[in-house]
């Protein structure tokens, strides 16, 4: 798990986050797994990982991009 620290409006904000790596192939067919996963499936994976790592997920939005300043 990583921690970035940023200042926003004079306050220090800690941004804890994690990166994951997946094996993306079925062993038997050598076809990719992620093509078959829906957005809902990926959200469920994110929920499971956040629970196991005990980190909070930010608010889920629409298709907006994050605004970095």
**Per-residue pLDDT reduced to its tens digit, 28-62:** 888 888 888 899 998 999 899 889 988 888 777 65
Q: Which bin fits 30, alpha (ψ -120 to 50), beta or left (φ > 0)?
A: left
Tokens 């079925």 sit at which residue?
A: 26
pLDDT of residue 63: 54
pLDDT at 20 over 70: yes
- pLDDT band (50, 70, 90) for residue 23: confident
Q: What distance in Å separates the CA atoms of residue 41 and residue 64, rounded to the nearest whole number?
A: 20
pLDDT of residue 18: 80
CB 18 within 8 Å of CB 2 = yes
Could you give the residue ranges of the DSSP H alpha helices within 3-55?
Answer: 39-53
- pLDDT band (50, 70, 90) for residue 3: low
Q: What ranges do the domains of the chain cover?
A: 21-57
How many residues are there in the chain?
Answer: 69
């Amino acid at each position: 798990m990583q921690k970035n620290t940023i200042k926003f409006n004079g306050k220090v904000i800690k941004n804890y986050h994690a990166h994951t790596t997946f094996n993306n192939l079925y062993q038997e067919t050598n076809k990719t797994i992620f093509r078959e996963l829906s957005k809902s499936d990926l959200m469920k994976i994110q929920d499971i990982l956040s629970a196991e790592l005990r980190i909070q997920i930010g608010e889920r939005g629409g298709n907006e991009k994050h605004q970095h300043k």
